[in-house]
Structure 1
Protein backbone atom coordinates (compact mmCIF):
# COMPACT_ATOMS: atom_id res chain seq x y z
CA UNK A 1 0.00 0.00 0.00
CA UNK A 2 1.32 3.44 -0.91
CA UNK A 3 1.41 5.75 2.10
CA UNK A 4 1.17 9.53 2.37
CA UNK A 5 2.32 12.13 4.85
CA UNK A 6 -0.77 14.34 5.02
CA UNK A 7 -2.20 16.90 2.58
CA UNK A 8 0.22 19.21 0.87
CA UNK A 9 3.34 18.25 2.85
CA UNK A 10 5.70 17.08 0.12
CA UNK A 11 5.95 20.34 -1.84
CA UNK A 12 4.75 18.92 -5.16
CA UNK A 13 2.63 21.23 -7.29
CA UNK A 14 -0.50 20.65 -9.38
CA UNK A 15 -3.84 18.98 -8.69
CA UNK A 16 -3.85 15.48 -7.21
CA UNK A 17 -6.35 12.66 -6.82
CA UNK A 18 -6.14 9.34 -5.02
CA UNK A 19 -7.12 5.91 -6.37
CA UNK A 20 -7.87 3.50 -3.53
CA UNK A 21 -9.64 0.44 -2.14
CA UNK A 22 -11.45 0.82 1.15
CA UNK A 23 -13.90 -0.82 3.56
CA UNK A 24 -16.35 1.13 5.69
CA UNK A 25 -17.93 -0.67 8.68
CA UNK A 26 -21.14 0.80 10.12
CA UNK A 27 -21.75 0.93 13.86
CA UNK A 28 -25.32 -0.37 13.44
CA UNK A 29 -24.28 -3.32 11.25
CA UNK A 30 -23.26 -3.82 7.65
CA UNK A 31 -20.35 -2.55 5.60
CA UNK A 32 -19.48 -0.89 2.30
CA UNK A 33 -16.47 -1.76 0.14
CA UNK A 34 -14.94 0.27 -2.68
CA UNK A 35 -12.42 -0.82 -5.31
CA UNK A 36 -10.56 1.63 -7.53
CA UNK A 37 -12.45 4.60 -6.05
CA UNK A 38 -11.02 8.02 -6.91
CA UNK A 39 -11.28 11.30 -5.03
CA UNK A 40 -9.81 14.79 -5.36
CA UNK A 41 -7.51 15.58 -2.45
CA UNK A 42 -6.66 19.03 -1.01
CA UNK A 43 -2.91 18.76 -1.56
CA UNK A 44 -0.45 16.20 -2.91
CA UNK A 45 -0.45 13.52 -0.16
CA UNK A 46 -2.87 12.00 2.35
CA UNK A 47 -2.65 9.39 5.09
CA UNK A 48 -5.08 6.52 5.60
CA UNK A 49 -7.06 8.07 8.46
CA UNK A 50 -7.56 11.32 6.56
CA UNK A 51 -8.59 9.40 3.44
CA UNK A 52 -11.16 7.41 5.41
CA UNK A 53 -12.67 10.64 6.72
CA UNK A 54 -12.63 12.11 3.21
CA UNK A 55 -14.57 9.11 1.84
CA UNK A 56 -17.18 9.36 4.61
CA UNK A 57 -17.68 13.11 3.99
CA UNK A 58 -17.80 12.69 0.22
CA UNK A 59 -20.50 10.00 0.38
CA UNK A 60 -22.36 11.60 3.30
CA UNK A 61 -22.31 8.34 5.28
CA UNK A 62 -23.88 8.13 8.75
CA UNK A 63 -23.16 5.86 11.72
CA UNK A 64 -19.70 4.86 10.53
CA UNK A 65 -17.80 2.74 13.05
CA UNK A 66 -14.47 2.43 11.23
CA UNK A 67 -12.72 2.72 7.89
CA UNK A 68 -9.73 0.82 6.51
CA UNK A 69 -7.65 1.48 3.39
CA UNK A 70 -6.12 -1.59 1.73
CA UNK A 71 -4.57 0.09 -1.34
CA UNK A 72 -3.80 3.67 -2.22
CA UNK A 73 -2.15 5.39 -5.21
CA UNK A 74 -1.66 9.13 -5.72
CA UNK A 75 -2.34 10.41 -9.24
CA UNK A 76 -1.58 13.84 -10.63
CA UNK A 77 -4.56 14.83 -12.75
CA UNK A 78 -7.18 17.61 -12.81
CA UNK A 79 -9.77 17.57 -10.05
CA UNK A 80 -13.20 16.34 -11.06
CA UNK A 81 -15.11 18.16 -8.32
CA UNK A 82 -15.39 15.54 -5.56
CA UNK A 83 -17.85 16.85 -2.98
CA UNK A 84 -16.89 17.75 0.58
CA UNK A 85 -13.20 16.91 0.16
CA UNK A 86 -11.70 20.36 0.78
CA UNK A 87 -10.17 20.34 -2.71
CA UNK A 88 -11.49 23.84 -3.39
CA UNK A 89 -11.03 26.00 -6.46
CA UNK A 90 -7.73 27.81 -6.78
CA UNK A 91 -7.81 31.29 -5.33
CA UNK A 92 -7.43 34.45 -7.37
CA UNK A 93 -9.01 35.64 -10.59
CA UNK A 94 -7.57 34.08 -13.73
CA UNK A 95 -8.80 34.07 -17.34
CA UNK A 96 -8.35 31.01 -19.57
CA UNK A 97 -8.96 31.33 -23.31
CA UNK A 98 -11.02 28.25 -24.22
CA UNK A 99 -11.30 29.07 -27.93
CA UNK A 100 -9.91 26.34 -30.18
CA UNK A 101 -9.43 26.37 -33.96
CA UNK A 102 -12.69 24.48 -34.36
CA UNK A 103 -14.79 26.24 -31.75
CA UNK A 104 -18.34 26.82 -32.98
CA UNK A 105 -21.49 28.27 -31.48
CA UNK A 106 -24.87 26.88 -32.51
CA UNK A 107 -27.79 28.96 -31.28
CA UNK A 108 -31.24 27.40 -31.61
CA UNK A 109 -33.88 28.91 -33.84
CA UNK A 110 -37.21 29.45 -32.12
CA UNK A 111 -39.04 28.21 -35.22
CA UNK A 112 -37.14 24.89 -35.10
CA UNK A 113 -37.27 24.38 -31.34
CA UNK A 114 -39.98 22.55 -29.49
CA UNK A 115 -42.55 24.40 -27.37
CA UNK A 116 -40.37 24.50 -24.22
CA UNK A 117 -37.27 25.32 -26.25
CA UNK A 118 -39.00 28.21 -28.00
CA UNK A 119 -40.16 29.57 -24.65
CA UNK A 120 -36.57 29.46 -23.36
CA UNK A 121 -35.32 31.31 -26.43
CA UNK A 122 -37.98 34.01 -26.09
CA UNK A 123 -37.05 34.23 -22.41
CA UNK A 124 -33.61 35.51 -23.32
CA UNK A 125 -31.34 32.47 -23.62
CA UNK A 126 -30.62 33.26 -27.27
CA UNK A 127 -29.36 36.77 -26.49
CA UNK A 128 -25.94 37.77 -25.26
CA UNK A 129 -27.20 37.57 -21.67
CA UNK A 130 -27.56 33.81 -22.17
CA UNK A 131 -23.93 33.45 -23.26
CA UNK A 132 -21.84 35.52 -20.86
CA UNK A 133 -21.04 35.42 -17.13
CA UNK A 134 -22.57 31.98 -16.66
CA UNK A 135 -21.55 29.85 -13.67
CA UNK A 136 -20.02 26.60 -14.87
CA UNK A 137 -20.82 23.00 -14.06
CA UNK A 138 -17.69 21.14 -15.18
CA UNK A 139 -18.24 17.45 -15.95
CA UNK A 140 -14.89 15.74 -16.44
CA UNK A 141 -15.07 12.47 -18.38
CA UNK A 142 -11.34 12.26 -19.17
CA UNK A 143 -10.04 8.76 -18.55
CA UNK A 144 -13.41 7.10 -19.16
CA UNK A 145 -13.47 4.31 -21.73
CA UNK A 146 -16.31 6.07 -23.55
CA UNK A 147 -16.49 9.74 -22.53
CA UNK A 148 -20.21 10.23 -23.15
CA UNK A 149 -22.30 11.96 -20.48
CA UNK A 150 -25.58 10.20 -19.74
CA UNK A 151 -28.18 10.98 -17.05
CA UNK A 152 -26.19 9.16 -14.36
CA UNK A 153 -23.03 11.13 -15.18
CA UNK A 154 -24.99 14.38 -14.80
CA UNK A 155 -27.11 13.33 -11.80
CA UNK A 156 -24.74 14.76 -9.11
CA UNK A 157 -24.85 18.26 -10.61
CA UNK A 158 -27.32 21.15 -10.38
CA UNK A 159 -27.32 22.68 -13.89
CA UNK A 160 -30.06 25.31 -13.44
CA UNK A 161 -28.83 28.60 -14.93
CA UNK A 162 -25.36 27.13 -15.57
CA UNK A 163 -23.16 26.47 -18.56
CA UNK A 164 -22.71 22.69 -18.48
CA UNK A 165 -19.20 22.02 -19.80
CA UNK A 166 -18.42 18.39 -20.68
CA UNK A 167 -14.69 17.67 -20.78
CA UNK A 168 -14.10 14.51 -22.84
CA UNK A 169 -10.38 14.83 -23.54
CA UNK A 170 -10.84 14.02 -27.21
CA UNK A 171 -11.22 16.19 -30.28
CA UNK A 172 -14.21 14.43 -31.81
CA UNK A 173 -16.79 11.76 -31.20
CA UNK A 174 -20.12 11.52 -29.37
CA UNK A 175 -20.15 13.20 -25.95
CA UNK A 176 -23.76 13.44 -24.75
CA UNK A 177 -26.40 10.70 -24.52
CA UNK A 178 -29.94 11.47 -25.72
CA UNK A 179 -31.42 10.88 -22.24
CA UNK A 180 -29.02 13.49 -20.80
CA UNK A 181 -30.45 16.23 -23.03
CA UNK A 182 -33.87 15.79 -21.45
CA UNK A 183 -32.32 16.07 -17.97
CA UNK A 184 -30.47 19.29 -18.87
CA UNK A 185 -33.65 20.82 -20.29
CA UNK A 186 -35.75 19.71 -17.29
CA UNK A 187 -33.25 21.17 -14.81
CA UNK A 188 -32.89 24.49 -16.59
CA UNK A 189 -29.35 24.46 -18.00
CA UNK A 190 -28.52 27.72 -19.79
CA UNK A 191 -25.91 26.44 -22.26
CA UNK A 192 -24.04 23.23 -23.07
CA UNK A 193 -20.39 23.09 -24.15
CA UNK A 194 -17.71 20.50 -24.89
CA UNK A 195 -14.19 20.06 -26.22
CA UNK A 196 -15.48 17.55 -28.75
CA UNK A 197 -15.96 18.95 -32.26
CA UNK A 198 -18.91 16.62 -32.87
CA UNK A 199 -21.81 18.98 -33.63
CA UNK A 200 -23.97 17.20 -36.21
CA UNK A 201 -25.17 14.22 -34.20
CA UNK A 202 -28.51 13.51 -32.51
CA UNK A 203 -27.39 15.26 -29.33
CA UNK A 204 -26.96 18.56 -31.19
CA UNK A 205 -30.42 18.22 -32.75
CA UNK A 206 -31.97 17.42 -29.36
CA UNK A 207 -30.26 20.42 -27.74
CA UNK A 208 -31.57 22.71 -30.49
CA UNK A 209 -35.10 21.38 -29.99
CA UNK A 210 -34.72 22.06 -26.26
CA UNK A 211 -33.66 25.65 -27.00
CA UNK A 212 -30.15 25.21 -25.57
CA UNK A 213 -27.14 26.97 -27.16
CA UNK A 214 -24.24 24.63 -27.95
CA UNK A 215 -20.50 25.33 -27.94
CA UNK A 216 -18.25 22.69 -29.48
CA UNK A 217 -14.51 22.36 -30.10
CA UNK A 218 -13.34 24.10 -26.92
CA UNK A 219 -9.71 23.85 -25.82
CA UNK A 220 -7.85 24.30 -22.54
CA UNK A 221 -10.47 22.66 -20.32
CA UNK A 222 -7.76 20.82 -18.37
CA UNK A 223 -6.58 24.22 -17.10
CA UNK A 224 -9.89 24.94 -15.38
CA UNK A 225 -10.43 24.13 -11.70
CA UNK A 226 -13.34 21.81 -11.00
CA UNK A 227 -15.40 24.57 -9.34
CA UNK A 228 -15.54 28.36 -9.20
CA UNK A 229 -15.49 29.11 -12.94
CA UNK A 230 -17.70 31.45 -14.97
CA UNK A 231 -17.99 31.16 -18.75
CA UNK A 232 -18.13 33.98 -21.31
CA UNK A 233 -18.93 33.24 -24.96
CA UNK A 234 -18.65 36.37 -27.11
CA UNK A 235 -19.89 36.12 -30.72
CA UNK A 236 -18.34 38.37 -33.35
CA UNK A 237 -18.78 38.73 -37.14
CA UNK A 238 -16.02 37.57 -39.48
CA UNK A 239 -15.51 36.82 -43.15
CA UNK A 240 -16.49 33.22 -42.38
CA UNK A 241 -19.74 34.24 -40.71
CA UNK A 242 -20.44 34.52 -37.01
CA UNK A 243 -17.57 33.23 -34.88
CA UNK A 244 -17.12 33.13 -31.11
CA UNK A 245 -14.41 33.55 -28.49
CA UNK A 246 -14.86 31.67 -25.26
CA UNK A 247 -13.25 32.40 -21.91
CA UNK A 248 -13.31 30.70 -18.55
CA UNK A 249 -12.80 33.06 -15.60
CA UNK A 250 -11.92 31.69 -12.18
CA UNK A 251 -13.47 33.59 -9.30
Structure 2
Protein backbone atom coordinates (compact mmCIF):
# COMPACT_ATOMS: atom_id res chain seq x y z
CA UNK A 1 0.00 0.00 0.00
CA UNK A 2 1.25 3.51 -0.76
CA UNK A 3 -0.01 6.98 0.12
CA UNK A 4 1.27 10.51 0.26
CA UNK A 5 1.83 13.82 -1.39
CA UNK A 6 4.92 15.70 -2.43
CA UNK A 7 8.02 15.08 -4.48
CA UNK A 8 10.18 12.10 -5.30
CA UNK A 9 11.28 10.97 -1.82
CA UNK A 10 9.68 8.00 -0.07
CA UNK A 11 9.48 6.64 3.47
CA UNK A 12 7.94 3.48 4.86
CA UNK A 13 5.70 3.06 7.91
CA UNK A 14 5.89 -0.50 9.24
CA UNK A 15 5.59 -3.00 12.07
CA UNK A 16 8.39 -5.51 12.54
CA UNK A 17 9.88 -8.15 14.80
CA UNK A 18 13.63 -8.65 15.21
CA UNK A 19 14.80 -11.92 16.77
CA UNK A 20 18.35 -12.06 18.16
CA UNK A 21 20.56 -15.10 17.73
CA UNK A 22 21.64 -15.00 21.40
CA UNK A 23 18.07 -14.78 22.70
CA UNK A 24 15.47 -12.07 23.02
CA UNK A 25 13.51 -10.06 20.47
CA UNK A 26 12.58 -6.49 19.59
CA UNK A 27 9.20 -5.37 18.23
CA UNK A 28 8.38 -2.08 16.52
CA UNK A 29 4.99 -0.58 15.74
CA UNK A 30 4.46 2.36 13.41
CA UNK A 31 8.21 2.72 12.83
CA UNK A 32 9.18 4.99 9.92
CA UNK A 33 12.34 5.02 7.82
CA UNK A 34 13.58 6.82 4.73
CA UNK A 35 14.01 4.47 1.76
CA UNK A 36 16.29 5.10 -1.24
CA UNK A 37 13.66 4.37 -3.93
CA UNK A 38 9.88 4.20 -4.25
CA UNK A 39 9.50 0.60 -3.01
CA UNK A 40 11.32 -1.92 -0.82
CA UNK A 41 11.04 -5.65 -0.17
CA UNK A 42 10.46 -7.05 3.29
CA UNK A 43 13.96 -8.53 3.34
CA UNK A 44 15.61 -5.25 2.35
CA UNK A 45 13.49 -3.36 4.88
CA UNK A 46 14.60 -5.74 7.63
CA UNK A 47 18.24 -5.10 6.71
CA UNK A 48 17.59 -1.35 6.64
CA UNK A 49 16.10 -1.47 10.14
CA UNK A 50 19.11 -3.43 11.45
CA UNK A 51 21.55 -0.90 9.92
CA UNK A 52 19.55 2.09 11.13
CA UNK A 53 19.48 0.87 14.74
CA UNK A 54 22.99 -0.60 14.65
CA UNK A 55 21.73 -3.96 15.94
CA UNK A 56 24.16 -6.84 16.51
CA UNK A 57 23.64 -10.60 16.56
CA UNK A 58 20.34 -10.49 14.66
CA UNK A 59 19.02 -13.91 13.77
CA UNK A 60 16.01 -12.90 11.69
CA UNK A 61 13.58 -10.09 10.91
CA UNK A 62 9.89 -10.27 10.06
CA UNK A 63 7.82 -7.40 8.61
CA UNK A 64 4.17 -7.74 9.66
CA UNK A 65 2.80 -4.50 8.15
CA UNK A 66 4.18 -2.06 5.60
CA UNK A 67 2.89 1.20 4.07
CA UNK A 68 4.82 3.34 1.59
CA UNK A 69 4.59 7.10 2.08
CA UNK A 70 5.61 9.73 -0.45
CA UNK A 71 7.08 12.45 1.74
CA UNK A 72 10.44 14.17 2.29
CA UNK A 73 13.19 12.19 4.01
CA UNK A 74 13.76 12.93 7.69
CA UNK A 75 17.39 11.81 7.79
CA UNK A 76 17.18 8.19 8.97
CA UNK A 77 20.68 6.93 9.78
CA UNK A 78 22.43 4.60 7.34
CA UNK A 79 19.54 4.54 4.85
CA UNK A 80 20.59 7.06 2.20
CA UNK A 81 21.29 6.10 -1.39
CA UNK A 82 24.20 7.70 -3.22
CA UNK A 83 23.36 10.74 -5.34
CA UNK A 84 25.39 11.61 -8.42
CA UNK A 85 26.93 15.02 -8.97
CA UNK A 86 26.93 18.30 -7.09
CA UNK A 87 23.67 20.17 -6.61
CA UNK A 88 22.91 23.71 -5.44
CA UNK A 89 19.54 24.77 -4.02
CA UNK A 90 18.54 28.42 -3.68
CA UNK A 91 16.94 28.93 -0.24
CA UNK A 92 16.51 32.72 -0.21
CA UNK A 93 12.94 34.00 -0.32
CA UNK A 94 11.25 37.42 -0.30
CA UNK A 95 10.90 37.29 3.50
CA UNK A 96 14.34 35.88 4.34
CA UNK A 97 16.02 37.81 7.12
CA UNK A 98 18.98 37.36 9.43
CA UNK A 99 19.20 38.06 13.14
CA UNK A 100 22.76 38.74 14.30
CA UNK A 101 24.32 37.90 17.68
CA UNK A 102 24.36 40.30 20.59
CA UNK A 103 25.96 37.92 23.10
CA UNK A 104 29.27 36.01 23.28
CA UNK A 105 29.92 36.11 19.53
CA UNK A 106 29.49 39.86 19.35
CA UNK A 107 28.32 42.97 21.16
CA UNK A 108 25.78 45.62 20.36
CA UNK A 109 22.05 46.23 20.37
CA UNK A 110 19.70 43.46 19.32
CA UNK A 111 18.44 43.73 15.78
CA UNK A 112 18.10 41.98 12.48
CA UNK A 113 18.99 42.53 8.87
CA UNK A 114 16.21 42.12 6.37
CA UNK A 115 16.59 39.61 3.58
CA UNK A 116 16.05 39.94 -0.13
CA UNK A 117 13.16 42.20 -0.88
CA UNK A 118 13.19 44.47 2.13
CA UNK A 119 15.20 46.78 4.34
CA UNK A 120 15.60 46.35 8.05
CA UNK A 121 17.41 47.31 11.21
CA UNK A 122 21.12 46.48 10.87
CA UNK A 123 21.66 46.12 14.66
CA UNK A 124 23.68 43.31 16.17
CA UNK A 125 27.10 42.23 14.96
CA UNK A 126 27.49 40.42 11.65
CA UNK A 127 29.83 37.43 12.13
CA UNK A 128 32.90 36.97 9.97
CA UNK A 129 32.08 35.45 6.57
CA UNK A 130 34.00 32.28 7.43
CA UNK A 131 31.51 31.61 10.24
CA UNK A 132 28.53 31.74 7.85
CA UNK A 133 29.61 29.75 4.79
CA UNK A 134 30.43 26.11 4.01
CA UNK A 135 28.70 24.90 7.18
CA UNK A 136 27.69 21.24 7.51
CA UNK A 137 23.92 21.01 7.91
CA UNK A 138 21.67 19.28 10.41
CA UNK A 139 18.21 19.21 8.83
CA UNK A 140 15.39 18.78 11.36
CA UNK A 141 12.20 18.07 9.43
CA UNK A 142 9.02 18.55 11.46
CA UNK A 143 6.58 18.27 8.54
CA UNK A 144 3.31 16.68 9.55
CA UNK A 145 3.85 17.27 13.25
CA UNK A 146 0.89 18.68 15.17
CA UNK A 147 3.31 21.08 16.91
CA UNK A 148 6.26 21.69 14.54
CA UNK A 149 8.56 23.31 17.09
CA UNK A 150 12.02 21.85 17.77
CA UNK A 151 12.76 21.24 21.45
CA UNK A 152 15.80 19.60 23.07
CA UNK A 153 14.55 16.09 22.29
CA UNK A 154 14.07 16.93 18.62
CA UNK A 155 17.72 18.03 18.45
CA UNK A 156 19.15 15.30 20.71
CA UNK A 157 19.85 12.72 17.91
CA UNK A 158 22.12 15.09 16.00
CA UNK A 159 25.71 16.29 16.16
CA UNK A 160 25.27 20.05 16.53
CA UNK A 161 28.83 21.32 17.05
CA UNK A 162 29.90 23.58 14.19
CA UNK A 163 26.73 22.83 12.22
CA UNK A 164 24.04 24.98 10.66
CA UNK A 165 20.78 23.67 12.13
CA UNK A 166 17.86 23.95 9.68
CA UNK A 167 14.39 23.50 11.17
CA UNK A 168 11.75 22.83 8.51
CA UNK A 169 8.29 23.42 9.96
CA UNK A 170 6.24 23.44 6.76
CA UNK A 171 4.43 26.58 7.84
CA UNK A 172 5.11 30.29 7.63
CA UNK A 173 3.67 31.38 10.97
CA UNK A 174 4.37 30.29 14.50
CA UNK A 175 7.49 29.48 16.48
CA UNK A 176 10.07 26.96 15.33
CA UNK A 177 12.37 26.58 18.34
CA UNK A 178 12.00 26.45 22.12
CA UNK A 179 14.23 28.29 24.56
CA UNK A 180 15.52 24.99 25.99
CA UNK A 181 16.51 23.98 22.45
CA UNK A 182 18.45 27.25 22.15
CA UNK A 183 20.27 26.36 25.36
CA UNK A 184 21.27 22.99 23.88
CA UNK A 185 22.45 24.63 20.64
CA UNK A 186 24.62 27.00 22.65
CA UNK A 187 25.96 24.20 24.86
CA UNK A 188 26.89 22.07 21.85
CA UNK A 189 28.40 24.96 19.87
CA UNK A 190 26.10 25.15 16.86
CA UNK A 191 27.22 27.66 14.25
CA UNK A 192 23.88 28.99 12.93
CA UNK A 193 20.14 28.33 13.09
CA UNK A 194 17.79 28.69 10.11
CA UNK A 195 14.15 27.94 9.33
CA UNK A 196 11.28 28.36 6.90
CA UNK A 197 9.26 30.01 9.68
CA UNK A 198 8.91 33.78 9.46
CA UNK A 199 9.13 34.27 13.21
CA UNK A 200 12.15 36.49 13.86
CA UNK A 201 11.14 38.03 17.20
CA UNK A 202 10.15 36.61 20.56
CA UNK A 203 11.85 34.68 23.39
CA UNK A 204 13.66 32.16 21.16
CA UNK A 205 15.02 34.88 18.86
CA UNK A 206 16.23 36.88 21.86
CA UNK A 207 17.85 33.78 23.36
CA UNK A 208 19.61 32.99 20.08
CA UNK A 209 20.99 36.53 19.83
CA UNK A 210 22.12 36.51 23.45
CA UNK A 211 23.81 33.11 22.94
CA UNK A 212 25.80 34.47 20.02
CA UNK A 213 23.98 32.37 17.40
CA UNK A 214 23.03 33.87 14.03
CA UNK A 215 19.43 33.06 13.07
CA UNK A 216 18.00 33.09 9.54
CA UNK A 217 14.23 32.97 9.06
CA UNK A 218 11.90 32.85 6.07
CA UNK A 219 13.85 30.34 3.98
CA UNK A 220 12.21 28.68 1.00
CA UNK A 221 12.88 25.50 -0.95
CA UNK A 222 13.95 23.34 1.98
CA UNK A 223 12.06 20.43 0.43
CA UNK A 224 14.74 20.34 -2.31
CA UNK A 225 17.45 19.45 0.21
CA UNK A 226 18.38 15.83 0.89
CA UNK A 227 18.22 14.87 4.54
CA UNK A 228 22.01 14.55 4.84
CA UNK A 229 25.18 15.65 3.05
CA UNK A 230 24.32 19.35 2.68
CA UNK A 231 26.52 22.38 3.36
CA UNK A 232 24.95 25.80 3.93
CA UNK A 233 26.17 29.19 2.73
CA UNK A 234 24.56 32.31 4.25
CA UNK A 235 26.23 35.29 2.56
CA UNK A 236 25.44 38.77 3.92
CA UNK A 237 25.77 41.72 1.59
CA UNK A 238 27.37 44.83 3.14
CA UNK A 239 25.58 48.14 3.37
CA UNK A 240 23.43 49.60 6.15
CA UNK A 241 20.86 51.17 3.83
CA UNK A 242 19.68 47.92 2.22
CA UNK A 243 21.02 45.03 4.30
CA UNK A 244 20.36 41.63 2.75
CA UNK A 245 21.48 38.03 2.82
CA UNK A 246 21.56 35.20 0.31
CA UNK A 247 21.27 31.60 1.49
CA UNK A 248 21.85 28.44 -0.51
CA UNK A 249 22.59 24.80 0.12
CA UNK A 250 25.14 22.64 -1.69
CA UNK A 251 24.97 18.87 -1.71
CA UNK A 252 28.35 17.23 -1.31
CA UNK A 253 29.74 15.33 -4.31
CA UNK A 254 30.00 12.15 -2.27
CA UNK A 255 26.46 12.22 -0.86
Deviation by residue 1:21-44 (Cα, 9 ceiling, x = unmatched): 112223333322212111011212
Is 1:42 matched with 2:36? yes
Query: Corresponding residue for 1:54?
Result: 48
Instruction: Tell me how far 1:65 sits from its aligned partner.
Output: 2.5
User: Within 5 A, what are the aligned runs for 1:96-245?
Assistant: 96-109=89-102, 113=103, 116-118=104-106, 126-237=127-238, 241-245=242-246
Q: CA deviation at 1:145?
A: 1.3
Alpha carbons 1:137, 1:165 under 8 Å: kept: yes
Structure 1 residue aligned with 2:84: 91
Tell me whether 1:67 sits opposite 2:61 in the alignment: yes
Query: Unpaired segments of 5 or more residues in structure 1?
Result: 4-12
Deviations 1:171-224 (A, max 9, x none): 121111211111111111100000001111211111111100000000000001
8 Å CA contact retained: 2:100, 2:126: no
Q: Equivalent of 1:78, from 68, 72, 75?
A: 72
Higher percent of residues as helix: 1
Gaps of 5+ in 2: 108-124
Counterpart Cα distance in 1 of 2:195 and 2:240: 25
Any idea what SS the aligned residue of 1:241 has? coil
The residue aligned with 1:6 is: none
1:132-168 alpha-carbon deviations (Å, 9 max, x no partner)? 1111111111111111111111111111111111111
Whether the 8 Å contact between 1:125 and 1:131 is mirrored in structure 2 is no
Corresponding residue number in structure 2 for 1:8: none
- Provide the secondary structure at the position in 2 that maps to 1:33: strand
Describe the SS at the equivalent of 2:243: strand
CA contact (8 A) 1:90 1:225 kept: no
Equivalent residue, structure 1, for 2:248:
247
TM-score where L is the length of structure 2: 0.84
